[in-house]
Amino acid sequence: MKKIALVFVILLVSCTKNEPVQFSEEALEEVVFDLNKNPFELKEVLQRFEGKKILIDVWASWCGDCIKGFPAVRVLQKEFPEVVFLFLSVDTNKEAWKKGIQRFQIAGKHFNLPKGMKVGAFVDFIDLSWIPRYIVINETGVITLFNATKASDSLLQAALKKAI
């Protein structure tokens, strides 16, 4: 019985994944584009909102789960008006991205990851395999929630409520 318990504990500990609290320098150097086609490194975008809590929503106009999640995102926006909602689209078609923002009435700060969801330092760093993906950064620049895939996730709301 002790051996079974020991194996269980070892498996549990080995499966626990430490989530990062900072983006890698390579991820921060990823070039994103604003709606006017201006390029910025991701770190420049994040620096704009220094001192504020940020919710990053990685999405695409063709993503059904992203679209289903927008009503819950709107609820979060009403509940947390002080939070910056930063939408990073992985659309490779820029017109589809812009039309998606209009069509789904997505309020927030918008940037595009031009390489899509399979290539790039940022998507590699966050190990992007599913969208939507939500990440919360607190007022001191620390990632407090690294991997939520539903806007209704209670961990997402807890991270937004958490004071520093």
Residue 87 near residue 59 (C-beta atoms within 8 A)? yes
Token output for 86: 């930063």
Domains of the chain: 20-161 (3.40.30.10)
Token output for 128: 């992007």
Confidence of residue 14 (pLDDT cuts 50, 70, 90): very low
pLDDT in tens, 65-82: 999 999 999 999 999 999
Confidence of residue 163 (pLDDT cuts 50, 70, 90): confident
pLDDT in tens, 86-127: 999 999 999 999 999 999 999 999 999 999 889 999 999 998
Peptide bond into 71 cis (omega under 30): no
Task: Please give the model's pTM, rounded to 2 decimal places.
Answer: 0.87
Spatial CB neighbours of 160, under 8 Å, sequence gap ≥ 6: 53, 55, 76, 79, 80, 83, 136
**Can you point out the beta strands (E) in the chain?**
31-33, 39-41, 54-59, 84-89, 109-112, 133-137, 143-148
